[in-house]
Structure 1
Amino acid sequence: MKNLLVLGAALLALPCTSAWAQGPVSGTLTDAQTGTALPGATVLLDGLASAATDAAGTFSIPAVAAGAHELRITFVGYEPLVQRLQGQPTQQQLQARLQPGGVLTGEALVTASRANERTATAYTNLGKEDLQKRNFGQDLPYLLDQTPSVVVTSDAGAGVGYTDLRIRGTGTTGINMTINGVPLNDAESHGAFLVNLSDLASSVSSLQVQRGVGTSQNGGAAFGASVNISTLNNRREAYGETQNSVGSFGTVKNTVQFGSGLVGQHFTFDGRLSRIKSDGYMNRAASDLKSYYFAAGYQQKNTLLKFITFSGREKTYQAWNGVPEPALTGNRQLLQNFVDNGELTESDAARAVQEGRRYSAYTYDNQTDNYQQNHYQLHLSQGLGDDWNLGAALHLTRGFGYYESFRARRKFVNYGLANVVLGGDTLTRTDLIDRKWLDNYFYGGTFALNYQPKADDRLQATLGGAWNRYDGDHYGEIIWAQYASNGSIRQRYYASNALKTDYNGYARATWQVLPQLSLYGDLQLRHIKYTIKGNQHKPDAANAVKGVVDVSTRARYTFFNPKAGATLTLAEGQQLYASFAVGQREPVRSDFTDRPATEPAARAERLNDFEGGYRLTLPQTRLLGVPTAVRFEANGFYMRYRNQLVATGQLNDVGTPLRTNVARSYRRGVELTGLISADDKISLSSTLTLSQNRILGYQDVTYDAEYKPMVGEARTSTISYSPGAVSAHTLEGQPLKGLRLALLYKTVSRQYLDNSENSRRSLQAYQVLDARVRYTIRPTFVKEIELGLLVSNILNREYAANGYTYNYLGASGGLDTFNWYYPQATRNFLASVGVKF
């Protein structure tokens, strides 16, 4: 491995006169009338976000290629500045002045929830260009794989279909996700199912990942991180683009994007159509994903009004059951144990031997998940004088769909049906096909009133909040049965309705007390009312109630979440920061409906998050005579929980992890990130997270033959799915003009499948090396053609990034453990062709 990385670095560093004929461009941005510095402005080079002005109004672009370019600078309440720029081998210094009174930009709408250098928290910003160079058609979590503390996984094994990410060991149920300030997480499960919005990354203008509690967000509290997505940026010039990828496992992506630019000085129109198909690495794990995005905007001097609609429809063959351990190891004795205890049938076991790590439990040809999600958003950004602006939005999300399953030998009584009498025989079971439906609406409004004075930016403040409501139906239908009994067509055997109202308000401010010292405060009050009426079906299993059971629930919560921090500037480009934040969140639906009767009711979680760190930013320095940019950050965190809901390692019948409260637990560690970029021709970025993730006084629970709990001794244990070390490294270079090569290396240490800290129930540590090539040419007949190649897992490692486990007294009379894993693809590739008109 060491030799391979050295060789890669050598290849990337090959000299080329034309490639190094680039120089940095820096400048200072001020108000043309008052001369006041303008922090937080967006600087775009050739239409792509390249920099932002800091507190002193300065910006820096590490390298600008030789030739003509367009530099565009926008800031809320000012006319945009557009000027031609000629790339030179030497440094260029600009003095830019903006005229007041410009049209508001879409970015004003997400400023309220974004962290910045004054908010004393850990965050990572990704622009459109950052996402584009990573986007070959895999889901959004895979585009975030190189950001700090992130672990990604795919049910189908190749990054298309059902994918997931964890940040600091916390899954999507603890990661707050918003699109343009509107909550994306499902109101009941708290999950963010990005399979419903395939190729969303192609429409993203900017994205911020905040780690820890972060700033106040709409929707559920961030218990590990928040992902803030914006699609609001306007492109003033007309454009047309197409991106097409093809690769391993029958993966195909086709995307068409278009935009009108600014029409009549007031109107903009943007759209996208996408289709992604993949057979998946796992057998019978295909995905068929379709999506669209459309936006229409109107803008004048101090007003921006924008309507956005986007939708995704997915059909995925179910792969959420994973692969039994003996299919990976080839252990015949263990395989027989799975058979003896009813985990596998004899035919399943035979297929597990034949298919190995690509085994799929399902053979019914329509064992599929089918879901569509339509989003509608109306955004207003209004300037209110020189120092104030208002961002507000109305939203509606409409979701509906089902998953279809073949069920063998199911009891009539568990579906509300009578036994069947044939002659003198009474039949109590039948094969059947059912559909479990979700049909829901999520709607509401958000607002943020921002105080951003132009003359004196020492005090900036935001007053914001949201009101949201979820109305969702859950029901099941039998669409076929070998013996119909007294059922009718589309026999509905369970039904429930859930109503959830969530509203919050927050006030946030940053105050530059001294030239070197900035203080930050954020107060949020959130209230939730949640009601479930009706019943739900439970599968036939030793650890669950059988048949249809009443799941009626009423719950109310009121949370007060304060946050505070301070940032000290040591010198130019150097900062120390520290913060404290409180996050509280309610249990999710499955915590209420799937909880074993032997356990007490689920309780709300509380997190006290302490963060502190050091940042170094040197946008302009010289190493070995080459213009070089250097960034480094060390962030320490201590996250102390009360009643944290942690995964038990088990799943319910729709693949949702089951969780339990633990009274006291914590996560503590350090995140190190660094970047060194030489003239933008060669760069190395690295991130390393070292952490301890512990439950205090944990008592392992197992069950005897009569399903009575057996409680172990209290001890300190590691939290499930929480690796102690995660790292990501990207070595990227441009040996020839237009040619960019990159090596991406990822490491994840051991993860435990439950909270017993038992190595027998764990995911082995793994290391993955990917390679990426992109080559751009600019012929006369189109604006740009880009050819790309992504080779994933080039070392052909066999590893699993996720799994689950359960144990009980088996047929042998001893405690048997049953592990199931989600193997990830061995060496595979995606090739792409992109054209810009």
Structure 2
Amino acid sequence: MKRIYLAFAAVLMSAMAFSQGTLTGTVTDGELGGPLPGATVMVRGTSTGTSTDFDGNFTLEVNQSSGTLLISYIGFVSKSVPFTTTGSVGTIALQPDAEELEGVVIVGTGIIDLAKDRQTPIAVSTVKASEIALKGGNQEFPELLKSTPSVYTSKSGGGFGDARIQVRGFDQSNTAFLINGQPINGMEDGNMYWSNWQGVTDVASAIQIQRGLGSSKLAISSVGGTVNIVTKTIDSQEGGFVQAMVGNNNYLKTTASYSSGISEKGWAFTTLLGHWQGDGYNDYMSGSGQTYFFSVGYSPNENHTFNFLITGAPQNHNQRNRYTIATLLEKGLTYNDQWGILNGKFMNVSGNYYHKPIANLSWDWNISNKSQLSTVIYASYGRGGSVGLRTFASQGEDNFDLTGQYNYNRSLAPNEDGLIIARRNDNSRSADILRSSVNEHRWFGVVSNFNHKINDQLNFNVGFDGRSYHGEHYRRVVDFLGLDGWDDDTNNVQLGSDYVVTEAYSVNSWKATFHDTPRNQRIGYDNPENIRYLGVFGQLEYAKDKLSAFVQGAVSTQSNQRFDYFNYAVGDEKSEKVTNEGFNIKAGANYNLNEYHNVFVNAGHYSRQPYQDNMFLNFRNDVNPLLTNEKITGFEAGYGFRSSIFSANVNLYQTTWDDRVVSGSLSTGEGFYQFQGVKQLHKGVEVDFALRPMQNLRFNGYTSIGKWEYDGNATQTVYDDNQNVIAEGDPLYLDGVKVGDGAQFTIGVGGRYEFLKGLSIDADYNHYDELYAGFLPTDDEFTVPDNRGSVKLPSYGLLDAGLTYDWNVNQNYKLVLRLNVNNVLDEEYISESLTNIHAEAGDVTYKGVNVANQAYFGFGRTWNMSIRLKF
């Protein structure tokens, strides 16, 4: 019997020995044929896993002789590969799929309109999570897209979060930005303020920019393009990371993230916390902020998936004034005079603070194998504003001494009550306050999309997009600078012109989240607004063999109402409710000629409602009598080529933006203007490519050539302060004038080379030309027939480089070291000009530009270095 036991034990030990072994294989790109470094390889049902190296190879020790490998990679469809013995499993090719992002279960798949390669007929570029993590560093979010055709980014004033982006010559108000399908452009003016979204780069799984009309089914007007930001929701496997980063000008950032993976009962949690701070590249431009992200998902069965997400990025950052080129050349390109000393304490008098948490609840319901319903309910609660001096005349040298004492409020005598109270218009330059221009909002919305598969070739979508927005705009005191109270001397019909405010409010972004400012503590103006929006959309898609096509349309209605508690008596604060309808229609088709070549075309037309800011005249409740919808028409055609080592795209486009109505205040401050019949024509060609001649070497590049001009002349109407017409029908000579603020010719090339296992270097060079100054048509230049148009700015090129060391410590831990150097050659360049002053004979110039222009210079050489531990 003993021998039988020994024999049984020997057999058991042999079986155990056989069950332990090594699996090897290579993971490749099923489209381009090259390796996929960093792909995740897991044994299903266990915590055993690894990642592929730069050549796409993996080695995995297993304790079983059979099972299933799960291979996943950002932007590709995950694949299950069974094995019945150890050894090589061969080459595993993953196919691209924008809906599968780094093992993340995308919730709200019917809402997030991500384009599919060789199927969706649009021009598209995608920045994946791995690239965001490596190249993001201390750069602003728009700069992640700068190596994209027809995209131009600028840091503007240079404060943290002050960057901007243009797509095909259209500014941010004409480019749609979405987070997980939730629209985030401002409801009043369509603008984006990236200081509110400092944490986006930390939580993004992918960023996809669809240039042109895009493929979004929402009733939005993506004229320049659509930027889809996809964040983490439910990670399919447990893991996380901790990261520390340092950079130029005392930049410091720490981040930690953890995901639980999906439990057996279908629950999953993901959280991320981060903090950043820095002195800023320009003088006295410090900033700091936090990032938080929390997501909980639940999938009770294969038919239902729920996810609740909340994220925010409270921040504070200093800003600076606009300066002429002459001033910056004299005092330094980083010059900033918006600071001083009060009682021995540093004080910046220009800045921004904001906290804009967003939350959404998503539900995906697989009704049947042919029908799905996706719904997202979201909310946004924003609190913050900009900081500045109330009486700008007080910035004289006798009051604002940059070399020592901050001289405010030293010579004022107390009143009969023993209080020191100053007035804004008492002609005393020895008194001032710091104020904040507050912008608050409460925004609720719901987006729902029903998809039905009619047959193997046809899919039908229908849904709606509803939004309710309430905004508050007013000013309040931040610091009395030694005063006991402030008489703003403003014409307030309800409170009189001599009421005194006595409360100061912190600009700490966390504290400001919970502030409630009564109306008797508001100064300057007090005008809330309500905006209601409802859109319905539908789409029909066809896909068979080599041909795919779609047609989609949307109709919407929007109501706007303004309130004014300064200029109107109690009970008369409301304007009339203005309601406008809009619509859009788009269609396109893609045809795959063979496995290598495809062509596509698309076209669309929008009738877009005017923004709130153009709806009411003179900062009062008077409705603009010339309100009209803007008309946008776009055409596009493209060609794509795919092979094992090379891919390329060529796109041709033309977009017409017509019936623009532009309103604003005259530069004299005494009246208002309105332009009618403003029309722009944007057309161009874009080329991009990717080349992988060897497994450890790859290149990418692009070029875009645009012609963005005003088409035809416009007319203007001028009003005095009492809304009387003082000039009507005067021509504005805009025909052929170049659209400013974005480079119309760009070219770039980049590459990455791994010269040792885990050690790689990469670089990108971007060149910008045909860049013109921004301008207002009120400039005298455009009231004469022979105007010289907009000022052309000097061309420039920027070289960015990075070094990465990626070390697999073991199967569970990976260490990534990264160094980024931006503007390696320390190029000095003008990124944008805020004025349009031409150089005359004898004028002082800088690279041919009149130094009287107010301009922003880009940053010189900057750097950041990080260490990230993945687990």
Range class of TM-score, shorter chain: 0.7 to 0.9
Match of 2:65 in 1: none
Partner of 1:753: 774
Q: CA deviation at 1:109?
A: 2.1
SS at match of 2:564: strand
* Contact 1:693–1:722 (CA under 8 A) maintained in structure 2: no
Give 2:317's aligned residue. 316
Structure 1 pair 775–327 and aligned structure 2 pair: CA distance change class (3 A): same
Secondary structure of 2:131's match? helix
| Partner of residue 270, structure 1 | 270
Contact 2:107 2:362 in 1 (8 A): no
Distance in 2 (CA, whole Å) between partners of 1:835 and 1:62 is 18
483, 486, 494: which one aligns with 1:484 = 486
Q: Is 2:631 the counterpart of 1:610? A: no
Asked if 2 retains the 8 angstrom alpha-carbon contact of 1:561 and 1:584, the reply is yes
Per-residue CA deviation, residues 790-820 of structure 1 (Å, 9 max, x unaligned), is 1111111111222312679xxxxxxx99522
Given the superposition, is the C-alpha separation of residues 95 and 478 from structure 1 closer, same or farther in structure 2, using an over 3 Å criterion? Answer: closer
Aligned to 2:401: none
CA contact (8 A) 2:675 2:714 kept: no
> Residue 217 of structure 1: CA displacement?
4.5
Per the TM alignment, residue 554 of structure 1 is displaced from its structure 2 partner at its CA by: 4.4
Correspondence for 1:667: 682
Contact 2:244 2:866 in 1 (8 A): yes
Match of 1:297, as an amino acid? G
For 2:249, what is the secondary structure of its paired residue? helix
Instruction: Kindly provide the CA deviation profile for residues 439-491 of structure 1, in whole angstroms up to 9, marking residues without a partner as x.
Output: 210002111112357xx642223212211110111111245375734413143
* Identity score, percent: 18
CA distance in 2, matches of 1:315, 1:660: 36
What residue in structure 2 maps to residue 819 of structure 1?
A: 853
Q: After the TM superposition, which residues 410-809 of structure 1 pair with which residues of structure 2 at under 5 Å, given as runs?
A: 427-428=426-427, 431-452=432-453, 457-478=456-477, 480=480, 484-485=486-487, 486=498, 487-490=500-503, 491-493=521-523, 494-512=525-543, 515-534=545-564, 552=575, 554-592=577-615, 601=626, 603-618=628-643, 620=644, 629-644=645-660, 662-698=677-713, 713=733, 715-749=735-769, 750-754=771-775, 758=788, 761-780=791-810, 783-805=813-835
1:303-352 Cα shifts (integer Å, max 9, x gaps): 11110000111101123x33322123x4xxxxxxxxxxxxxxxxxxxxxx
Describe the superposition over 1:745-787 as per-residue Cα deviations: whole angstroms up to 9, x where unpaired: 1111122322668577443222101111111111249611111
Deviations 1:617-646 (A, max 9, x none): 12x3xxxxxxxx211110000101212468
1:517 and 1:176, CA in 2 relative to 1: closer, same or farther beyond 3 A? same
Per-residue Cα deviation, 1:147-188 (whole angstroms, up to 9, x for no partner)? 221111113538x42211111111211111111111111211
Q: Deviations 1:652-702 (Å, cap 9, x if unpaired)?
A: 99xxxx996553321010110111113441111111110101112236989
| Partners of 1:699 and 1:420 in 2: CA distance | 55
Largest Rg, 1 or 2: 2
Query: 1:505 is paired with a residue of what secondary structure?
Result: strand
Q: 2:395 matched to 1:395?
A: no
- Give the stretch that moved more between structures: 116-125 or 568-577: 116-125
Alpha-carbon shift at residue 202 of structure 1 (Å): 2.2
Task: Tell me the CA shift for residue 382 of structure 1.
Answer: 0.9
Given the superposition, is the C-alpha separation of residues 614 and 753 from structure 1 closer, same or farther in structure 2, using an over 3 Å criterion? same
Consecutive unaligned residues in structure 1, runs of 5 or more: 1-20, 29-41, 49-59, 97-102, 331-352, 412-418, 538-548, 621-628, 809-815
Q: Tell whether the 8 Å contact from 1:468 to 1:503 is kept in structure 2 after alignment.
A: yes
> Are 1:832 and 2:866 an aligned pair?
yes
Does structure 2 conserve the Cα–Cα contact (< 8 Å) formed by 1:219 and 1:502?
no
Measure the CA separation in 1 of the matches of 2:124 and 2:104.
25
Q: Check the 8 A contact 1:74/1:80 in 2, yes or no.
A: no
Whether the aligned pair in 2 keeps the contact of 1:662 and 1:695 (CA below 8 Å) is no
Give the secondary-structure state (helix, strand or coil) at the position aligned to 1:281: coil
Could you state the TM-score of these two structures normalised by the residue count of structure 1? 0.77
- Give the Å deviation of 1:110: 5.0
Contact 2:79 2:94 in 1 (8 A): no
Aligned residues: 718
Q: CA deviation at 1:377?
A: 0.5
Contact 2:607 2:632 in 1 (8 A): yes
* 1:53 alignment counterpart: none
1:46 has 2:69 as partner: no
Q: Which residue of 2 aligns with 1:341?
A: none
State the distance in 2 between where 1:649 and 1:616 align: 50
The CA deviation at 1:273 is 0.7
C-alpha distance in 2 between matches for 1:428 and 1:801: 38
Shift of 1:741: 1.0
TM-fit CA distance, 1:614 = 0.5
> TM (normalized to structure 2)?
0.74
| CA 648–670 in structure 1, closer or farther in 2 if over 3 Å, else same | farther
Does the 8 A contact of 2:211 with 2:224 survive in 1?
A: yes
For the residues of structure 1 that align with 2:350 and 2:234, how far apart are their CA atoms? Answer: 42
Give the Cα–Cα distance (whole angstroms) in 2 for the partners of residues 644 and 699 of structure 1: 10
Matched-pair contact (CA < 8 Å) for 2:547–2:592: yes
More strand by share: 1
Identify the residue that residue 256 of structure 1 maps to in structure 2: 256
Q: Kindly state the Cα deviation for residue 719 of structure 1 after the two structures are TM-superposed.
A: 1.4
Q: Is the 8 A contact 2:104 2:233 kept in 1?
A: no
Partner of 1:748, secondary structure, is strand
Distance (whole Å) between structure 2 residues aligned to residue 642 and residue 579 of structure 1: 19
CA-atom RMSD in angstroms: 4.3
| Offset from partner CA, 1:250-276 (integer Å, 9 cap, x none) | 211111111111123410000001112
Aligned with 2:593: secondary structure? strand
Once residues 391 and 372 of structure 1 are traced to their aligned partners in structure 2, the CA distance between those partners, rounded to angstroms, is 29
Bigger shift: 671-680 or 105-114? 105-114
Deviation at 1:592, TM superposition (A): 4.2
- Code of the residue aligned with 1:719 in structure 2: it is V
The separation in 2 between residues aligned to 1:389 and 1:111, in whole angstroms, is 11
88 and 354 in structure 1: CA distance in 2 versus 1, 3 angstrom threshold:
farther
Determine the C-alpha separation between the residues in 1 that align with 2:124 and 2:732. Answer: 40
Q: Would the aligned equivalents of 2:260 and 2:269 in 1 still touch at CA under 8 Å?
A: yes
In the TM superposition, what is the alpha-carbon distance from 1:73 to its structure 2 partner? 5.9
- Asked if structure 2 preserves the Cα contact closer than 8 Å seen for 1:377 and 1:394, the reply is yes
Q: Measure, in 2, the Cα distance between the counterparts of 1:148 and 1:831.
A: 28
Q: In structure 2, what residue type is equivalent to 1:240?
A: G
1:552 is displaced (CA, Å) by: 4.8
Q: Is the 8 A contact 2:104 2:232 kept in 1?
A: no
The one-letter code matched in structure 1 to 2:646 is: V
Give the whole-Å Cα distance in 1 for the aligned partners of 2:666 and 2:697: 45
Mapped to 2, the partners of 1:610 and 1:682 lie a distance apart of 36
Contact 1:650/1:804 (8 A) holds in 2: no
String of CA shifts for 1:81-127, please: whole Å, max 9, x gaps: 3668999898556999xxxxxx9942552565223333311112233
Question: Are the equivalent residues in 2 in contact too, given 1:805–1:820 (CA < 8 A)?
Answer: yes
One-letter code aligned to 1:484: W
| Counterpart position of 2:363 | 380
One-letter code aligned to 2:501: S
The answer for the alignment partner of 1:280 in structure 2 is 280
With over 3 angstroms needed to count, the CA separation of the structure-2 counterparts of 1:717 and 1:662, relative to structure 1, is farther
Contact 1:118 1:510 in 2 (8 A): no
1:649–1:473 Cα change, 3 Å = closer
Amino acid at match of 2:737: S
